[in-house]
Structure 1
Amino acid sequence: MKKLIILLLATVFALQSCEKKTSKQNKEPVSNNETWEIKQDNFTYTVEILDSLQFYAEQKNVKHKPEPLKKITDFTSAQKMLKGVVEFWDGDEDGESHGLRRILFRNGNTFNNKYNEEFFVAYYPTEDIILFEGGHSLDVSFTLTNGKQTQETGNPEYIVTSPNNQYRLNGFYEGQDCVSYFIQKNVNGQFENAIPLSETFSKNNRKSICQIKEAFWTNDHTLFLKEVFVFDSNNELKPIYYKISITEAEPKPSQSAVFQSKNISDFVPEDYVIYKENGLEEIKGDLNKDGLEDIVLIIKATDKSKVIKHETRGELDQNRRGIIVLFNKGNHYQLALKNYDCFTSENEDGGVYYAPDLNIEIKNGNLLINYLHGRYGYWSYAFRHQNNDFELIGYDASHNRGPMVESDISINFLTKKLIKNENINENAQDESEVVFKQTKQNIRLKEFTRLSEITDFDQLKISELYIVE
């Protein structure tokens, strides 16, 4: 009898053990890896830190093996292929200097290089990209088709394309140990910058991306990276492995404003309001020379997560602002332009100085976007309606010290003229003692800047829009 009871108990325990084991096997594995999420424009990407076993297990199953890009490294061959497009400086004493002198881009624009400091490395015919090496071995590259330069073109040696050619990793060496990496998206056959990978890693206070030694895509939205320029507590190099999962946000219904309506409020997207401070709520004037008063609206997002509590300034609404231009058609309005977040919040932090005030006006048929900085001066952008957009035709700025103007600049992108005045009397105490030296220059415009395409006025660098001849 005792033997029978012992046998029954053993059977019960065995069955329970099997149930537990089966339950564990059927349970979905939970990752304990460190992860974080980054949002960049219309993209959200999740970054997960892996161990080496996870990384190489994924790599082992990759079927997509992108072919290396064809490149021409022989200077004589490349020079013949690019005759009439790329000009080089004459050789040095040994006749071996292959420095860049001038590029006549295929779209009609020109790049002139005053100094013999960038030297030929390779030409990539399928991408129509030419690569040079600059000082400190930094990468300098150009897309010969459209004139795009290094920060958008990258170094083709860093390109790793996703299986269906939807995205690709790219980068360029900055000459300071690290490579700046970014992810490009295929838009109608042309790759455009979508995610500044190195930049957003740094902004989010995460480990920097500096030297990627291995990279592969498992699908069009999942990228794996092996970073080696990382030091441990013993100051020794060690690898770190990343998995990056990209999600592209669907356009919100609120982003599809109506094309025409009798009511101005119909053009304001959902989750936005008309900004009604400092006289910016409604700007009127004729922008298309038809004799009717058009309307410019400044709008502001209403995302509650962007309202913060500042330790000294109290509650601050840091939602960005945008602009909408409506053409008056007599019995209704028509949408002429929209850019929902090109302006910072009115509550931005000016650092040591107060932040400049945004001011919008219509003058002589042009749309003026002004930044007023009180005793420190101002800067102003002039846009004209042309080519189905509002294009930047002028720029004016004044840098002041109290009532005194230290320097001012006026650029006309239509006449291609630049005039600059600089005070050369360092001891001037008031306006009457200021002595100006005037400089006049001819410029060549790379291409017109469109208001609809400006992502952030704070990042718009005027000096990069033209070349002094």
Structure 2
Amino acid sequence: MRIRVLKIVSTFVFPLMIVISCDRNVKSNGGVPSKVREMPANLESSAPLTSRPGPIEVTIEKISSEDFFSAEQHAKMNKPMEKITDFKIVQQKLAEIVEFEEQDHYLGIKKINFRNTPSVKNEVDLSECSFVSYFPSEDILLLECGHTMDVSFDLTTGQTTYETGNPNLVTTSPSGKYRLNKVYEGQECFYHFIQEKKNGKFKKIAELNEVFEMKTGKWLCVIEKEFWADDQTLYFGLVTQYKEGGHEYEFYGVKISEGKN
């Protein structure tokens, strides 16, 4: 009898667990961010929210549209990175490093021979990828792969997408010490992270999606209008709904400071 009761209980618990876990990963298929989830009562606060101690501390504060647009007047211009998009030039530039395969309307990738790394485990099937850009100053190759997702490689170190990001989408602080980087993940949302320049290379120091969700209870899916006011202060608008007459946003300020050990 006891065994029979346990079987009945497990029959009801297992489907319930599936429903709960699936709810967390639901994304809109129409390219429109799902409506921002309501913040749990214990997280609802006007006070800034700070990440736990580490190499840096990230403080996130929701602000009014008036404060956002006032700060935007002092935004520092974001200079785009130099890049190569010409098929012929990039093949000459990366001869013996990247084995390309020229098709009718795109440049395919057969193999990558990293400069200082014997081999790198590919995150994707390179046969499903095509060349987008090459950034000489950072030796980063950017590709577009299945579902139009971003895939990138540091050809010197062998670092891959979630460390190198998409250099086309970076927003750099005024002195160049920090930058916001993004990766389009091929469905709807972006992965966002903060990098710091150390010894001439940018290295990831904070996963902004994780910090934002942990502190606000909301997805950091698509952000726009991002800018740095200074080396420690980043602003952005979180898209909550797309509309023909103009998107709807929630605005946030992010403060970066040295972590406490």
Question: Above 0.5 in TM-score?
Answer: yes
**Structure 2: gaps of 5 or more residues:** 1-44
Corresponding letter in the other structure for 1:156: P
Query: Structure 2 CA distance, aligned partners of 1:115 and 1:194?
Result: 28
CA apart distance, 1:108: 3.8
8 Å contact from structure 1 (residues 102, 112) kept in 2: no
Match of 1:43 among 39, 56, 59: 56
Q: 1:164 aligned to 2:175?
A: yes
Amino acid at match of 1:80: Q
Alpha-carbon distance between aligned partners in 1 of 2:139 and 2:156, rounded to the nearest angstrom? 7
Q: Given the alignment of the two structures, is residue 140 of structure 1 paired with residue 139 of structure 2, yes or no?
A: no
* 2:188 equivalent among 164, 171, 177: 177
Inter-partner Cα distance in structure 2 for 1:83 and 1:57: 49
Structure-2 residue corresponding to 1:245:
255
**Partner SS, residue 147 of structure 2:** helix
In the alignment, structure 1 residue 220 sits paired with structure 2 residue 231? yes
Tell me the percent identity. 37
Q: Distance in 2 between matches of 1:39 and 1:241?
A: 22
Alignment of 1:202-351 (within 5 A): 202-228=213-239, 230-231=240-241, 237-250=247-260, 252=261
> Out of 128, 132, 146, which is 1:121 matched to?
132
Runs (5+) with no aligned partner, structure 1: 1-31, 253-469
Deviation string for 1:401-432 (max 9, x for gaps)?
xxxxxxxxxxxxxxxxxxxxxxxxxxxxxxxx
Q: CA deviation at 1:245?
A: 0.6
Distance 1:119 1:44, change over 3 A: same
Instruction: Pick the aligned partner of 1:98 from 107, 110, 115.
Output: 107
Task: For residues 29-60 of structure 1, give each alpha carbon's deviation from its aligned partner in whole angstroms, at most 9, with x where no partner exists.
Answer: xxx94532222633222111111211111111
Q: Which residue of 1 aligns with 2:212?
A: 201
Q: Is the 8 A contact 1:118 1:134 kept in 2?
A: yes
Counterpart code for 2:255: S
| Between structures 1 and 2, the one with greater strand share | 1
The question of whether the paired residues in 2 share the 8 Å contact of 1:99 and 1:118 is answered with yes
Structure 2: distance between partners of 1:40 and 1:172: 25
Q: Which has the higher contact order (CA 8 A, sep 6+)?
A: 2
**Are 2:98 and 1:89 equivalent residues in the alignment?**
no
Residue deviations 1:317-360, cap 9 Å, x none?
Answer: xxxxxxxxxxxxxxxxxxxxxxxxxxxxxxxxxxxxxxxxxxxx
Residues 116 and 40 of structure 1: is their aligned pair in 2 closer, same or farther, counting only changes over 3 Å? farther
SS in 2 for 1:83: coil
* 1:83-119 Cα shifts (integer Å, max 9, x gaps): 111112353xxx3342221111121433587651011
SS in 2 for 1:73: coil
Matches of 2:60 and 2:69 in 1, distance apart?
Answer: 17
Counterpart-to-counterpart distance in 1, 2:126 and 2:168: 25
Q: Secondary structure of the residue that 2:51 maps to in structure 1?
A: strand
Return the alpha-carbon distance in structure 1 between the equivalents of residues 216 and 253 of structure 2.
18
CA distance in 2, matches of 1:147, 1:122: 17
SS in 1 for 2:158: coil
Q: Structure 1 CA distance, aligned partners of 2:86 and 2:181?
A: 23
Superposed displacement of residue 143, structure 1: 0.9
Deviation digits for residues 353-394 of structure 1, max 9, x if unmatched?
A: xxxxxxxxxxxxxxxxxxxxxxxxxxxxxxxxxxxxxxxxxx
* SS state at 1:186 partner: strand
User: Counterpart of 2:237 in structure 1: which amino acid?
Assistant: K
Aligned length: 212
Q: Secondary structure at the match of 1:106?
A: coil
Match of 1:76 in 2: 88
Is residue 35–residue 49 contact of structure 1 (8 Å, CA) maintained in 2?
yes
Q: CA offset at residue 185 of structure 1?
A: 1.0
- TM-score, length-normalised on structure 2? 0.74
Change (3 A) 1:184 1:61: same
SS in structure 2 at match of 1:243: strand
2:85 is paired with a residue whose SS is coil
Whose helix proportion is higher, 1 or 2? 2
Cα distance in 1, alignment partners of residues 235 and 73 from structure 2: 12
Q: Within 2, Cα distance between the matches of 1:55 and 1:212?
A: 14
Question: Does the 8 Å CA contact 1:101/1:112 hold for their aligned counterparts?
Answer: no
Q: Distance between the aligned counterparts of 1:72 and 1:42, measured in 2?
A: 34
Asked whether the 8 Å contact 2:167–2:181 carries over to 1, the reply is yes
**Aligned partners of 1:46, 1:132: CA distance in 2, in Å?**
33
The amino acid that maps onto 2:166 is N
Contact in 2 for aligned 1:224/1:242 (Cα 8 Å): yes
